[in-house]
Structure formats: C-alpha cells, structure tokens
Structure 1
Amino acid sequence: MLQAIGLTSTPRRDRPPAVDDLTFEARPGAVTALLGPRGSGKTTALRLMLELEPGRGITYFRGRPLHRVAHPPREVGVLLGDVPGHPSRTLRGQLRMLCAATGVPAARAEELVRTVGLTGLERRRIGTLPIGADRRLGLASALLGAPHTLLLDEPAAGLSVPESGWLYELLRAHAAEGGTVLYTTDDPKDAARNADRVVTLEGGRLVADQDAVEFARTRLRPRVVVRTPHAARLAAAVTQEARAARRAVEVVAEDGNRLSVYGSDCAAVGDTAFRHGVPVHRLAEERGGEGGAGAGRGRGGAGQARRTQEGEEPAKPASPAVEPASGGAEREATGRRRGAARRPARSPLRPLRYELHRLVGVPSTPLVVAGVLLVSVTLALLLGRGGRAELPAVLAGWPAISPLPPAALGAGLIGAFSFGEEYRYPALTSGRGAVPRRPGLLLAKLTVAAAVALALGVLVVAVDLEALRFVYGGQLVPVPKNWPTLSASWLGLTVGCAWAGVLGAGVFRAAAAGVAAVLAVPVALVPLLQKVLTGPSVRSAAGLPARLREFAGPQWSPALDRWLAGVLRVVGQPAGVALSLALTGLLCAYVFTGLRRKARW
C-alpha cells in the first residue's frame, strides 16, 4: 500500500506551493489514477513521494518511507517523463547497466526485453527510439527489480491507441499480481476507463478521491458539443429557454465557435437552434471533458460537492498504522512471493559493476583513448625529431608549452565524464534519490578512473616508445636509470588528474567543471607553490623525512625505505603537492555538499 500524508512542496518566489497538504492512498491490487489538468501538481506530487523535491509530508510504501527502504528498486519502480540515460547507449546496454545498479542478474534484462515487446531492438541507441519503444524501455527499467509499487508520470502521453491499450494491460496485470500502481493523467476519460480509483487534484489540492464508477457518475457529466458560427447567439437562446423551463442547463463557450452544453441533449439543443434560425455545423453528445479534471469555471469540486449533498462522506486515507483489507493483504503477500526469488543481494561490487557498464557502454571512452594516443604519438615524434627534449617528456608527448601531457588530460576528461554524464543523463536519480552522491558510487568511480588512468598511462608510453624506435631506431631511446621514480611520477600524475576530474565534476555536477579542476593544478596551483617554495625564508624543513622515520618507530628494510623515499620525493615535488592539495580540497567539498544526507547504495 502507498500512503501519501500531508505532501506540501516548498513554495518559490512568493507563489503558492505546487502541492498543498495532499493526502491520499493507493491500494495494492488496484490501479490508481492521479488526475488533474496541467499545472495541478501531479508531477510534483510524485517527486515529493520519491523525496526528489523539497517539501513537507511523508509517503509510506508498505509502512516505510523511501529513505528507510533497504532496496528501493525492489519496492518502487519509477517512470518520470522520457527514459533517463545516455542517448548513445544501446537499449541492451542501458538495461544491463541498471541491472548492475539494482543488483539483479543480467538475464533479467533479456527477460524484460521480451516482456515489453522490444525483441529485435536490443542494439538500437536510446536516442533513436520512437516514443512507443522509449515508453516500453521506461517500463522495463521500472520493472527491473520486480517492484511492488509502480509510479508513472503520464505514461500514455503521445502513444497511439494500440500502444496505450498495451500499456494499461501491463499495468493491470501488475496490479492483478498484488502490486500497487499509481499513474498521472490529465484525461478524465482515460482515468475512468483504465483506473480502479481516481484521485483528482486542482491547484495542488485534493478535490476528490473516488472509485472509478463513482467518478464516472459524478464527475464525467454528459455534455452536448455544438459547433456553430453564431455561438454566442445560440448560447443565449439555450440559457433563456432553460431558465424558462426551470431546467439545470449550463452552457460553456469553448475556443472559436464551439459550445459545451451540460444538462441537456442533442434533441433539445437542435430544436432550440432551429427555432432561433441558428445554423449548426456539428451536434454530438460526449462524456468527459472540462468538468472531469476540475478545470474551468470552478467545476473542480462538483463531484465532491455532489457527494456531500447526497450524504456521502469523502474518502479519507487510512492511518499509516492501519492494515489494508484482507483481500488487499492477500494480494500484497502474493506480490511479495512473486518477487522473492529476485531479491537483490547487497554487495559492494554492485556500484563497481554499474560503473564498468557505464564506462564501456558509451562511445566517449574509446574516442578519448584514441584521441590521446594519436596526439601523444604525434607530439612524441616531433619532440624526438628535434633532439632537445628530455626522454621522459618525449615518451609522454609533453612539450614545454603544454600544461599537461595528453595522457593526463585524457584521464582527467574520462574522470570528468564519469560524473558529468551521470548528472546530464540521470539514469539512477529518478528512483533512488541523489544516487550520484552516495559513497559507494564515489568509491567505484574513483577505482575505475584510477584503473583507466593507469592503463592509459602505460599504453601511451608503450605506443610512443614503439613509434620512436620504429621511426628513429632503438639506439636513440635508452632506458634511464631512474625509471622507477619516473614511472611512479608519471602514473601518479595520470591517476591524480583522473581523480581531480571525478571530484570536480561531482562537486559542480558538470564535466566541464571536472576538466577545469584538472587544468587548475598546473595553471594556477603549481606556479603559486613554486613562488612560495622559492621565496625568501628564515627557517628550513630540511631533514623532515628522516625525522618522520624516527618518529614512526619501526625500522623498515632498506628496499622498502628506498621505495618510501622515492614516493616522498615524487609527492614532494611542486606538481605533486599541488595535485594533493587540489584532491584534498575537492574531496572535502564533495563531502560537504554531497554526503550530508545518510544514504545506502
């Protein structure tokens, strides 16, 4: 059971809240429609339920708020608008990436592809899918964890009649197995036809909470639609005759030459038009429309007012402690048994698997690697041809005029994409809050970024070395004696740049900010540190490494001591100190801005 209690959004710029004290419930085994015209607060209400919108109130999913649910994908499946995800990712890659995040086997993706009718489109890019296939993919994403509750924001918008029929059959099947379904719509006829219960909003407030039969009887009033070039004249005539006959007839002028007549029929309106000599271009009876969604001339509370006049009390949601009826409890138990076999296992490898799927599923990663190799080889050959640059700079393809070598820039760019694409194409946030800010995902991104940076650094040096040997001969490329220290410096630089890109994009939520954080180290921090270190000083810190070893107590072996001394020399360089300070500052900023709310992966 879903119970929304006192949902109120935070008002902005002295405007009333989009949702104001909204309380209702959606029962298991039933499809509930959240009905209202555009701007009535339907989408904001869903976002408040999912804790994606600031405000007050609480929503219980089977007695627990979302932030206390151990496995949110197992409890709630969400579709808000279009399918979130990188447009260059394939349909299969998107589902497998979400399977890794959800903690379900990859075979679940193949199963849902068949269930939602996307067989044969697995290799299509998300950005090229038609709206029908896009909506099916969104439902597949929402169903990955076999959730008990489905929250869908206008799922049938823009779909054809057959596509809409298929969609509502799927929702009905989910409810029949004991699940809870809540979807939004602005079409009253859609709500009456496809929902078991209709919750009507107007101006962010609850107008009515009725079962579908009562909703159709009280709020979907029959009307006569008339098109005539003399709409005002016919409206006056119909109103005058209704008053004379003491009949409750209401005439609403629509756009252009269209009238909606409530409380009458085609015969009476046609006779009135004939008696007054008004030509009629169209005369038809319809059900639904303006009064159904609470729009126009204050008719939003008509159904509620009519129920009050008839002596009925408006429906009120149950207290969070109240259990559902016995039939609902049986359906809920059926729903729990239905998904028990797919309960996701908690594992620290889940965010790591997700990040690997995210990294290899888009073309940006191989394009960056290929571009880095091409630029680095070109620069290495040009530097080697001159014969003036030192061997480390030649192998790195690092001319003196460049702030960073191509490999470090590429590692920083890949690191920046890891969070930049997460915020630009939020595949995770719709169902589980601010997922990119969770510690598990941060550690996974740092780990994968470090591995990619190490591989890229080794690959660049190997390719540049082979290119130099092939073009200029092996005798011109001697192996330096201090190659371990140079290797440590080189790999530390690439990993540090990758981490700076990750943290910079994570703090400022944009890949460009991650790249700026990488470039800030050589452009701003290193010159500043060099001025500080080379400026006039009264005292010196010479001998600090030896005193640190004495303070540590245990005596290390000579080999380990040499390695530690080499690490200290590498880190103690201006570039190493600047990079360390930048990473420390970015990590503190990330913790301050992103990890304030307790969350689980």
Structure 2
Amino acid sequence: MLQAIGLTSTPRRDLPPLVDDLTFEARPGSVTALLGDPGSGKTTALRLMLELEPGRGVTYFRGRPLHRIPHPGREVGVLLGDVPGNPSRTVRNQLRMLCAAAGVPASRADTMLEIVGIAGLRDQRLGSLSLGMDRRVGLAAALLADPCTLILDEPAAGLSPRERGWLHGFLRGHASLGGAVLFTTDDAKEAARCADRVVSIESGRLVADQDAADFARTRLRPRVAVRTPHAARLADVLGREARAAQRAVEIVEESGSRLSVYGSNCAEVGEAAFRHGVLVHQLADETGDAGAPASPSPPPPETAARAEGGALAEPAAGPHRASGGQRRHARSGRPASTVRRVGGPLRPLRYELRRVFGTAAPALTAALVVVASAVTALALARTGQTSQNRLLAAWPELLPLPPAALGAGLLGALAFGEEYRYPALAADRGTVPRRMGLLTAKLAVSAVLALLLGTLAVAADAAALKLVFDSGPLRSPAEWVSPAASWAGLLIGCAWAGVLASGVFRSASAGLAAVLAVPVMAVPLVRKVLDGPSAYPARGLAARLRGLSWAQWPPEADRLVLGALRVMAQPVGTALVLSLMVLLCAYGFTGLRSRVRW
C-alpha cells in the first residue's frame, strides 16, 4: 500500500506552496487516479512522494519511506514524462543498462520488451521512437525489477485512443496481480473510466477521495447517447415532450446522426422514439463527453505481440502472466516476484560498463583522438625541435594538454554529465544516486578507458612517424618506465578530474572545463610556488619509502616510484593532484549524503 501523509512542498516567495497538506492512499490491487487541472500540483506531489523535491510530509511504501528501502527500484516503478535516455542509445541497450542498475539479469530486458509489445523495436534508437512507443519503453523500464507499486505522471497524455486503451489495460493487469497503481491525469472522464478510485486535488489541496462509481455519479454529468438517421426529428420530439412534462432536458446535436440528451435516461428516450416511429441505431447511458461507461473497462484480451515496421498488435494486458503461486499472493495483496536478483559489489560496475558502451561516444572519441594525435605528432616532427616523449604524446608547448588527455577528460566528464542530462537512475533514487560504489565504478572505468586511449594515441603516433619519416624522429629510449608512469598519471588524472567535476557541477561541459582549468589556471600558480631552488632536496626518497614498507618491493620498482614522484614534482602533476583533492572533497560535501547505498 502507498500512503502519502501531509505532503507539503517548499513555500514559494509570496505564493502558497504548490502542494499543501495532501494526504491520500493507493491500495494494492486497484488503480488510483490523481486528478487535477494543469498546475494543480499533481507532478509536484509525485516528486515529493519520491523524495525528488524538498518539502514536508512522508510517503510510506508498504510501511517504509523511500529512503529506508535498500533498493527503491524493486519497490517502486516510476515513469515521469518521457524516457530519460540518450537519444542515440538503442531500446535494448537502455533497458540492459537499467537491468544492471536494478540488480536483475540482462535477459529481463528482452522479456519486458516482449511483454509491452515492442520486441521488434529493440534495435531502434530512443530518439526515433513515437510517443506511444516511448511510453511503452518507459513502462518496461519501470517494471524491470518487478516492483509492487507503479507511479506514472500523465501516462496517457498525447496518446491515440488505441494506445490509451492498451495502457489502461496494462495498468489494470498489474493491479490484478496485487500491485498498487497511481497515475495522474487532468481528464475527469479518463479517471472515471480507468481507475478504481479517484483522488481530486485543486491548488495542491485534497478536494475529494472517492470510488470511481461515486465520482462519476457526483462529479460527472451523465447523458444518453443516441444514434439515429433522423436526429433532427428525434430532437424535436424529445424537446416537445420535455416541455409538455415540464422537465429540464438538454439536447445537443453532436453530428448529423448523433444526439446527446442530458437530464433523461435510456428508457424515456427509447419510449419517445418508439411512440413517434423514429428509427434508433444506438441508445446508451454515458458519462461525460467521451462516450465511455462510468465503470472501469475490462482489460483487452491477450493477443500475440508483433512488430513489423511501424504496426503493432496488442500485447498481453498485464505485465506478466501469473502462476498459481503468484495469484495466491495477489489475493493477499503482496505479489510474488519471480525475477532473479543479481546483487553484489559488481552491480555498479556492470551498470557503468553498459552505460559507457551503449553509445558510440567512446569509439568516436578514440577515433578523433587518434587522428588529432597523429597529425599533431607529424607536424611536431617536421620542426625537429620537440623531445621524443612530447613527440609521441603529441603535446606541443602551446597546447595546455595533449589530445589523448583531452579525450580522457571528455570521457570522464560524460560519466556523470550524461547521468544529469539523461537521468537513467531517477526512478531509483534521486536525479543521480551519489553512492560510493557508483563513484568507484566510474573512476575505475574512466581510468581504464584513459589508459587505452593513451596507448592507442602513442601507438598511432609512432606508426605515423615511422610511415612518413622512417626511423628519423624516433630513437630507442634509454629510460621508458618513468615517462610511461608520467603519461599514465596524466591520463588518469584528467579522466578523474572530469568525473569528479561533472559530478560536482552536474554538467559534462563543466567537467571538461575543469580539466582544461588545471593546466591553464592551476599550473601557473603552482609554478610560482615551486619556482626557485630548494634548500633541502628530497634525494633518496624511494629508498627510504622502501625501508618503511611492510613488504620489501624489488629494486626495479624504484623506477616506478621515482616516475610517480617526478610527475608530482612537475607543476602539471602537482596542480592535477591538488585539483583532484579539491574536487573529491567537493564531491563528498555535495553528493555523498544519500543514506541508500549500492
């Protein structure tokens, strides 16, 4: 059961709060509609329930607030607006990425695509989907972890009548298995037709909480719908009899053959037509202006889901077929989940890998970096005034960073920047759940990508120089460990700076700007501090560190330690280390406040 108690949004300046002391509940096994005009606070109420917006009040999901549920995605399925995914990502990749976030097997994505009837669109890009197909993908994403509660904001807005009917049948099927469904709408007829209970709000306050039948009887205007080839004649007959009986009857001609009669019933209209010999093709009691019965319509029959081109057949009405055990649990109000859980510390890593490689961004970045690096290396080789290390890194003195470091910083900035632009984890916990496991996975994946990018760039530079100039610019290095450590440290530092900065500033562009700010702004300041000779040079530091360690490392490791120390002693290395420390502290201060952990 979902219970919202005293929901109140943060007051606005000189204006009342959008939601003010709102209390209601959505019961298991039923569909609840939150009805209100545009601007009445429906979406704000949902965001307060999901703790996506500051305010007062509490919402219990089967007795627990959201921040006390270890895995909210397994308890609550959410669809707020369109699918928040990268438009270049395919439908299947989007769902497989969310499977990793929810801790369920990747095969669950294909199962949900079959259930919502879009298995034939699995390789389509999210940006190419129609509105109806986008909503189906959103439903599939909300149900990946088989949650008990579904929360949807205006799910039928803009859909065709056929898609709207499918959606309502789908929600009815989820409720029939014991789940609770809450959706918002501004259409009173839709609420009366598709919900078991209607919660009406106005200006953020509760107006009424009624069964759908009571709502239709008290809040909607009933009528008699008539279809006849003699509409004008029947309207004249009904008007004359109403005036003779002194009854208030309103007759509206909807079209050339359709009448809507308010203030009467089917028996009176039918008897009047029979007495005057008027042929009637249809006679039905309706509620509102949509021509739908007041009671909720049953779910559509189950048919085979098939997609060919743009045509889709209607899929099963419910989210999945229930076994006997599931039906027994559904009657008790707690549906049994048959979805296997995939937990453990590798769950954030699986999510991050699927996020990174679900689009062409890494491949495109690598291609651009390799081309730019090779061209820059060839241009530097023509002058003959660049050291071999800078030549292989394609790092001229005029550039703040080499192409490989910029590419590593860009991939790092996308790690969190994409989360904020396309909040794939919004339904799970907040815009981006700031958890140590997720941060560790992003740092690890970005470091590996940075090293691969740097290796590709150096290999491409060496191959281009060998091809164009033979072996002229290149010589066998006398020492390669220290330059390699310096190169790896620069790449990983830029990637991590992009990750942390995009997490702090919530933007990929801000993350890349922070990477560029290290050599442009921080390095000159560090160079001023380090400028001049030191009275006490730190010689023999590697040997002293070896003596302090518990395990004796081999003497060859001294070169790696010296390489790392040499990187930190350089202005770029020192500025990068200091920037990473500042960004990590800022990230911890602004982000690591969630009580939910991976």
TM-score after normalising by structure 2: 0.82
Is residue 108 from structure 1 mapped to residue 108 from structure 2 by the alignment?
A: yes
- Does the 8 Å contact 2:419/2:432 carry over to 1? no
- 1:388-436, CA deviations, whole angstroms, 9 ceiling, x for partnerless residues? 1111111111111111000000000111111111101111113322434
Which SS does the other structure have where 1:522 is aligned?
helix
- Does the 8 Å contact 1:77/1:151 carry over to 2? yes
- 1:31-70, CA deviations, whole angstroms, 9 ceiling, x for partnerless residues? 1111111111111111111100110111111111111112
- 1:472-493, CA deviations, whole angstroms, 9 ceiling, x for partnerless residues? 1135411211211001001110
Cα offset, 1:15, TM superposition: 1.2
- Does the 8 Å contact 1:418/1:445 carry over to 2? yes
Distance 1:133 1:551, change over 3 A: closer
Letter in 2 for 1:129: L
Residue number in structure 1 paired with 2:231: none
Which SS does the other structure have where 1:596 is aligned?
coil
Which SS does the other structure have where 1:430 is aligned?
coil
Which SS does the other structure have where 2:60 is aligned?
strand
- Does the 8 Å contact 1:188/1:289 carry over to 2? no
How does 1:227-376 map onto structure 2 within 5 Å?
287-288=287-288, 331=330, 333=332, 335-337=334-336, 339=337, 341-376=338-373
Counterpart CA distance in 2 for 1:146 and 1:100 is: 14
How does 1:566-585 map onto structure 2 within 5 Å?
566-585=563-582
Distance 1:334 1:596, change over 3 A: closer
Distance 1:330 1:90, change over 3 A: closer
Residue number in structure 2 paired with 1:159: 159
Residue number in structure 1 paired with 2:449: 452
- Does the 8 Å contact 1:5/1:24 carry over to 2? yes
Letter in 1 for 2:387: E
- From the two aligned structures, give the one with the greater helix fraction: 1
Distance 1:246 1:47, change over 3 A: farther
Cα offset, 1:345, TM superposition: 3.3
Residue number in structure 2 paired with 1:391: 388
Q: Structure 2: any 5+ residue segments left out of the alignment?
A: 226-241, 251-259, 269-283, 291-326
Cα offset, 1:548, TM superposition: 9.4
Residue number in structure 2 paired with 1:211: 211
Which residue of the other structure, out of 428, 431, 435, is the alignment partner of 1:431?
A: 428
Residue number in structure 2 paired with 1:506: 503
How does 1:115-194 map onto structure 2 within 5 Å?
115-194=115-194
Cα offset, 1:549, TM superposition: 2.7
Cα offset, 1:334, TM superposition: 6.4
Counterpart CA distance in 2 for 1:168 and 1:518 is: 49
- 1:331-357, CA deviations, whole angstroms, 9 ceiling, x for partnerless residues? 3656442x1x32523311111111111
Distance 1:586 1:544, change over 3 A: farther
- Does the 8 Å contact 2:384/2:473 carry over to 1? no
Counterpart CA distance in 2 for 1:181 and 1:14 is: 35
Moved more, 580-589 or 211-220: 211-220
- Does the 8 Å contact 1:72/1:432 carry over to 2? yes
Residue number in structure 1 paired with 2:31: 31
Moved more, 561-570 or 365-374: 561-570
Letter in 2 for 1:331: A
- Does the 8 Å contact 1:50/1:431 carry over to 2? no
Counterpart CA distance in 2 for 1:333 and 1:548 is: 70
Distance 1:69 1:3, change over 3 A: same
Distance 1:165 1:568, change over 3 A: same
Is residue 12 from structure 1 mapped to residue 9 from structure 2 by the alignment?
A: no
Letter in 2 for 1:500: A
Residue number in structure 2 paired with 1:549: 544
- Does the 8 Å contact 2:369/2:404 carry over to 1? yes
Alignment: residue pair count = 524
Letter in 2 for 1:137: V
Which SS does the other structure have where 1:445 is aligned?
helix
How does 1:400-415 map onto structure 2 within 5 Å?
400-415=397-412
Residue number in structure 1 paired with 2:524: 527
- Does the 8 Å contact 2:500/2:587 carry over to 1? yes
- Does the 8 Å contact 2:523/2:571 carry over to 1? yes
Letter in 1 for 2:167: L
Residue number in structure 2 paired with 1:540: 535
- Does the 8 Å contact 1:436/1:442 carry over to 2? no
Letter in 2 for 1:478: R
Cα offset, 1:553, TM superposition: 3.6
Distance 1:390 1:164, change over 3 A: same
Which SS does the other structure have where 1:431 is aligned?
coil
Q: Structure 1: any 5+ residue segments left out of the alignment?
A: 226-241, 251-259, 269-283, 291-327
Which SS does the other structure have where 1:474 is aligned?
coil
Counterpart CA distance in 2 for 1:93 and 1:335 is: 31
Letter in 1 for 2:480: W
Distance 1:22 1:261, change over 3 A: farther
Cα offset, 1:597, TM superposition: 3.0
Counterpart CA distance in 1 for 2:141 and 2:340 is: 16
- Does the 8 Å contact 1:112/1:140 carry over to 2? yes
Is residue 491 from structure 1 mapped to residue 495 from structure 2 by the alignment?
A: no
- Does the 8 Å contact 1:81/1:153 carry over to 2? yes
Residue number in structure 2 paired with 1:277: none
Counterpart CA distance in 2 for 1:16 and 1:477 is: 72
Distance 1:544 1:125, change over 3 A: same
Which residue of the other structure, out of 416, 419, 430, is the alignment partner of 2:416?
A: 419
Cα offset, 1:248, TM superposition: 9.1
- Does the 8 Å contact 2:482/2:562 carry over to 1? no
TM-score after normalising by structure 1: 0.81
Counterpart CA distance in 1 for 2:578 and 2:328 is: 57
Cα offset, 1:166, TM superposition: 0.9
Residue number in structure 2 paired with 1:202: 202
- 1:272-292, CA deviations, whole angstroms, 9 ceiling, x for partnerless residues? xxxxxxxxxxxx9973379xx
Distance 1:410 1:562, change over 3 A: closer
Residue number in structure 2 paired with 1:310: none
- Does the 8 Å contact 1:74/1:344 carry over to 2? no
Which SS does the other structure have where 1:437 is aligned?
coil
Distance 1:363 1:458, change over 3 A: same
Letter in 2 for 1:198: V
Distance 1:550 1:393, change over 3 A: closer
- Does the 8 Å contact 1:419/1:505 carry over to 2? yes
Letter in 1 for 2:450: A
Counterpart CA distance in 1 for 2:549 and 2:89 is: 53
Cα offset, 1:554, TM superposition: 4.8
Is residue 564 from structure 1 mapped to residue 552 from structure 2 by the alignment?
A: no
Distance 1:357 1:563, change over 3 A: same
Residue number in structure 2 paired with 1:50: 50
Cα offset, 1:598, TM superposition: 2.1
Counterpart CA distance in 2 for 1:68 and 1:423 is: 24
